[in-house]
């Protein structure tokens, strides 16, 4: 039972970490900090604008696959995987 | 070949494809009807989810919204994708582990309450039905514009196709056709975008083209767009115009609304294992992001093309504007639909299209106001290939893509509605000892009924059709998402807490929306004009779903702390869904 509790605690920690990144790239870089970031130019993109319309979406995708991969490791570590 | 013939051929070919798939995916059990036998490959399920999620609004309207709102439309780009991160980490794997067929049945079991289950069914039906009306309208519009048949004929053709594959094949038929529809719609969306990006920037990848320099040597494409717009008195494209708080809450409402929409959630009930549910959400977002990262390029480039078509020379010079008689053929085509309107206010036979920033120069230039009195945002994607002079087959493809986007979303929504009617209301409440065969028949009848109701509303759209998207997301965000999340992440939230939380969340959101948009959307019954000065803290009705969700969480936790904890077996249920081991094995697909 304590193993399952530890599994859940590690999962929650992972989720919180991912949600913080999720928040920073969209609400942080894309909205709250958009003006200062827009003073930085990468190619033809203003950085804040890029995060709001492109960057945050790429990072969302990466986050989900990162989470899925880490959870597969965690499932095996605590022996709660399906097969 | 003539455009109309070409369009008939392309659309006819896709319809034939959907029917072949439908006939090959007939089902015989409720497990196949509701969740495709839990045998869908996670990548294919991701593709089906992409088509399920991307509606007529994503395909047709979004790029137009971006074209006219610029940075502020980022709300939709982030809002309609960020929800998948929440879905992958907070809902999908646990609900897949639970392994039931519908969203309300989890809510009913976890909160051991029929009231909670019925509340969830009601939210689901209202949210999904309002959503489906828009798809039906989209199908009719696409048909009438591109095939020049009447709106009704288009609508009936669409209904007929959905009827064949959804009634025969249930989730299995819907999944297989959605995979095909994804391929059609993404091809149709990206091909014109690649062409236009090449024309303007020389870069074939629209996502990179948007950040590249123009081929004519006039600097970066976005800088050019900012310059053209500000010169003509419009607001700068890349900067923020709305209030920060509203933009944040609006984005959040769309994100948690997305994660809480039942027709999206049930897609992840169809994969074989919990670990597949996690990765499948990732694949879904990959397929969605292909369109969503292309849309900003389509929007910006279409806007630039539109401005340059009309403003051909120096601003203010007598020959700087396009002569009305020399307008291109796409301009004439869209004028016929009424979505594009010109009015020669100063009688010079030329078109002046400019924003409020040029008000004080009007006398100097001899202008009498903006003459493009209507530019409907929906035409930006549909007219884009014509504006860029692309070949006819590309235009035909766009028509087929728009229809695919609307059909796939409509089918997903109708499935969510019919499965909760047959499984939650009939099997769950009225006739618990119904046989599998009877339940399958009930599901099919519910599906047929839902298609007819949706068709009726498509033909006779209620006046509020445009307003209801706010309602669908508001309901999903303020009721379903918090209830599911608390059901998984808290063992303390009990029956009374969850039910009162849902009711308060929905109540607050509905009242706020009705307050500014009229009670039940009846025009003239709103309590205050729907303008930013009247909104509470500047929060628009569309953005209020996140406040409703916060109310839901707060009420549920408070009430639960004063009332008895959930019974022992419910606490075990929560512990059980938190670990992947022991999920139901996959059946043959």
pLDDT tens digits along B355-367: 888 888 888 888 8
Is residue B450 pLDDT above 70, yes or no?
yes
Residue pLDDT, tens place only, B382-428: 888 887 788 888 888 888 898 888 889 988 999 899 999 988 888 88
Q: Confirm whether B341 is domain-assigned.
A: no
B212 touches chain A (CB under 8 A): yes
Element (H, E) at B499: helix B495-517
Q: Which chain B residues are closer than 8 Å to A24 by Cβ?
A: none
> Looking at chain A, which residue has its C-alpha nearest residue B242?
A31
Residue pLDDT, tens place only, B289-311: 999 999 999 999 988 988 888 88
Q: How far is CA B80 from CA B107, B254, B340, B486, B513, in A?
A: 24, 6, 28, 22, 20
> What domain count does chain B have?
1
Q: Confirm whether B224 is domain-assigned.
A: yes
- In order, the DSSP letters of B48-78 are HHHHHH--HIIIIIHHHHHHHHGGGGHHHHH
The predicted pLDDT at position B240 comes to 84
> Looking at chain A, which residue has its C-alpha nearest residue B225?
A44
Total residue length of chain B: 589
Quick check: B281 and A27 CB within 8 A? no
Q: How far is CA A44 from CA B157, B169, B190, B210, B216, in A?
A: 45, 48, 21, 7, 15
Residue pLDDT, tens place only, B530-569: 778 888 888 888 888 999 999 999 999 999 999 998 999 9
Q: Which of B81, B244, B278 is facing A71, going by the closest CB pair? A: B278
Q: Which chain A residues are closer than 8 Å to B220 by Cβ?
A: 43-44
Q: Which chain A residues are closer than 8 Å to B88 by Cβ?
A: 64, 67-68
Q: Confirm whether B530 is domain-assigned.
A: yes
Average model confidence (pLDDT) across chain B = 86
Q: Confirm whether B582 is domain-assigned.
A: no
Q: Confirm whether B52 is domain-assigned.
A: yes
Residue pLDDT, tens place only, A20-73: 999 999 999 999 998 999 899 888 899 999 999 999 999 999 999 999 999 999
Residue B523 sits in a domain whose CATH number is 1.20.1730.10
What's the DSSP call for residue B506? Answer: H
> Looking at chain A, which residue has its C-alpha nearest residue B286?
A61
Q: Confirm whether B68 is domain-assigned.
A: yes
Beta bridge partners of B340: B375
The predicted pLDDT at position B322 comes to 87
Which chain A residues touch B if contact means CB-CB below 8 Å?
Answer: 4, 7-8, 11, 15, 18-19, 22, 26-27, 30-32, 34-35, 38, 42-46, 49-50, 52-54, 56-58, 60-61, 63-65, 67-68, 71-72, 75, 78-83
Mean pLDDT on B252-276: 92
Q: Which residue has the tokens 């965000």?
A: B477
What pTM was estimated for this model as a whole?
Answer: 0.92
Beta bridge partners of A41: A46
Quick check: B248 and A31 CB within 8 A? yes
> Looking at chain A, which residue has its C-alpha nearest residue B86?
A19
Nearest CA of chain B to the CA of A73: how many Å?
11
Q: Which chain A residues are closer than 8 Å to B77 by Cβ?
A: 52-53, 56-57
The predicted pLDDT at position B468 comes to 66
Q: Which of B207, B212, B582 is facing A54, going by the closest CB pair? A: B207
Q: Which chain A residues are closer than 8 Å to B242 by Cβ?
A: none
| Residue whose C-alpha is closest to residue B105's, from B436, B409, B483 | B483
- In order, the DSSP letters of B214-245 are -TTSSSBHHHHHHHHHHHTTPPPSSS--S-HH
The predicted pLDDT at position B467 comes to 59
> Which residue of B288, B580, B584 to mutate against A (max A Cβ within 10 Å)?
B580
Q: What is the ipTM of this complex?
A: 0.96
Mean pLDDT on B30-56: 89
Nearest CA of chain A to the CA of B70: how many Å?
10
Q: Which are the contacts of B511, defined by CB distance < 8 A and separation ≥ 6?
A: none
Quick check: B244 and A32 CB within 8 A? yes
> Which residue of B79, B275, B281, B295 to mutate against A (max A Cβ within 10 Å)?
B275
Confidence bin at B588 (pLDDT 50/70/90): very low
Cα–Cα distance, B365 to B371 (Å, whole number): 14
Nearest CA of chain A to the CA of B284: how many Å?
9
The predicted pLDDT at position B231 comes to 86
Percent of chain B at pLDDT exceeding 90: 31
Percent of chain B at pLDDT exceeding 70: 97
Confidence bin at B589 (pLDDT 50/70/90): very low
Q: Confirm whether B88 is domain-assigned.
A: yes
Mean pLDDT on B101-105: 90
Ranges B117-131, B334-348, B437-451: which has the least confidence? B334-348
Cα–Cα distance, B142 to B406 (Å, whole number): 9
Name residues 77-106 of chain B within 8 A of A (Cβ). Answer: 77-78, 81-82, 84-85, 88-90, 93
Is residue B586 pLDDT above 50, yes or no?
no
Q: Confirm whether B243 is domain-assigned.
A: yes
- Over its C-alpha atoms, chain B yields an Rg (Å, rounded) of 25
Containing domain of residue B193, as a range? 3-304+387-577
Residue pLDDT, tens place only, B499-542: 999 999 988 988 888 888 777 777 777 878 877 888 888 888 88
Quick check: A64 and B285 CB within 8 A? yes
Q: Which chain A residues are closer than 8 Å to B293 by Cβ?
A: 53-54, 57-58
Cβ(B103)–Cβ(B284) below 8 Å: no
């Amino acid at each position: 039972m304590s193993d399952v509790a530890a599994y859940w605690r590690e999962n929650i920690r992972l989720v919180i970490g991912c949600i913080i990144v999720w928040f920073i790239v969209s609400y942080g870089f894309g909205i709250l900090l958009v003006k200062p970031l827009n003073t930085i130019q990468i190619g033809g993109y203003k950085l804040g604008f890029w995060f709001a319309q492109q960057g945050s979406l790429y990072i969302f995708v990466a986050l989900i696959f990162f989470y899925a991969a880490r959870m597969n490791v965690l499932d095996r570590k605590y022996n709660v995987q399906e097969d | 070949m003539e455009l109309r013939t070409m369009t008939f051929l392309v659309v006819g070919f896709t319809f034939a494809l959907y029917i072949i798939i439908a006939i090959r995916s007939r089902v015989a059990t409720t497990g196949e009807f509701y969740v495709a036998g839990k045998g869908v490959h996670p990548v294919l399920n991701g593709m089906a989810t992409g088509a399920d999620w991307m509606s007529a609004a994503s395909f047709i309207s979004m790029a137009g919204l971006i074209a006219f709102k610029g940075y502020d439309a980022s709300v939709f780009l982030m809002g309609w994708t960020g929800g998948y991160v929440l879905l992958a980490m907070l809902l999908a794997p646990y609900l897949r582990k639970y392994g039931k067929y519908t969203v309300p049945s989890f809510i009913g079991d976890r909160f051991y309450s029929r009231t909670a289950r019925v509340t969830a069914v009601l939210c689901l039906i209202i949210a999904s039905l309002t959503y489906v009306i828009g798809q039906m309208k989209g199908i009719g519009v696409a048909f009438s514009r591109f095939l020049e048949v009447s709106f009704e004929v288009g609508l009936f053709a669409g209904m007929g196709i959905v009827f064949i594959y959804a009634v025969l094949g249930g989730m299995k038929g819907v999944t297989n056709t959605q995979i095909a529809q994804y391929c059609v719609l993404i091809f149709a969306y990206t091909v014109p975008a690649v062409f236009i990006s090449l024309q303007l920037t020389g870069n074939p990848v629209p996502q990179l083209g948007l950040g590249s320099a123009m081929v004519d040597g006039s600097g970066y494409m976005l800088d050019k767009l900012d310059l053209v717009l500000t010169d003509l008195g419009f607001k700068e494209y890349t900067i923020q115009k709305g209030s920060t708080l509203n933009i944040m809450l609006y984005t959040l409402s769309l994100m948690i609304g997305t994660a809480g929409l039942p027709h999206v959630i049930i897609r992840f009930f169809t994969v074989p294992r919990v670990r597949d549910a996690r990765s499948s959400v990732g694949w879904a977002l990959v397929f969605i992001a292909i369109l969503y990262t292309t849309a900003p390029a389509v929007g910006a480039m279409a806007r630039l093309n539109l401005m340059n078509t009309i403003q051909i020379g120096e601003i203010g010079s007598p020959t700087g504007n396009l002569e009305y008689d020399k307008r291109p053929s796409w301009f004439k085509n869209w004028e016929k639909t009424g979505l594009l309107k010109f009015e020669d206010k100063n009688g010079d036979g030329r078109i002046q299209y400019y924003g409020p920033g040029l008000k004080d120069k009007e006398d100097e230039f001899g202008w009498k106001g903006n003459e493009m009195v209507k530019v409907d945002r929906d035409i930006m994607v549909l007219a884009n290939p014509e504006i860029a002079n692309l070949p006819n087959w590309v235009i035909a493809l766009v028509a087929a893509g728009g229809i695919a986007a609307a059909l796939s979303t409509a089918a997903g929504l109708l499935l969510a509605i019919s499965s909760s009617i047959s499984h939650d209301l009939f099997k769950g409440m009225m006739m618990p000892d119904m046989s599998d065969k009877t339940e399958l028949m009930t599901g099919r009848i519910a599906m047929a009924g839902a298609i007819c109701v949706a068709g009726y509303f498509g033909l006779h759209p209620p006046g509020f059709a445009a307003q209801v998207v706010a309602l669908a997301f508001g309901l999903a965000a303020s009721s379903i998402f918090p209830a599911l999340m608390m059901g998984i992440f808290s063992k303390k939230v009990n029956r009374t807490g969850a039910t009162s939380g849902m009711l308060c969340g929905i109540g607050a959101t509905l009242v706020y929306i009705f307050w500014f948009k009229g009670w039940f959307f009846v025009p003239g019954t709103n309590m205050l004009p729907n303008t930013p000065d009247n909104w509470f803290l500047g929060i628009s009705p569309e953005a209020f779903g996140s406040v409703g969700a916060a109310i839901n969480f707060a009420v549920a936790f408070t009430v639960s702390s004063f009332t008895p904890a959930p019974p022992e077996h419910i606490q075990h249920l929560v512990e059980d869904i938190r670990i992947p081991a022991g999920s139901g094995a996959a059946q043959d697909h």
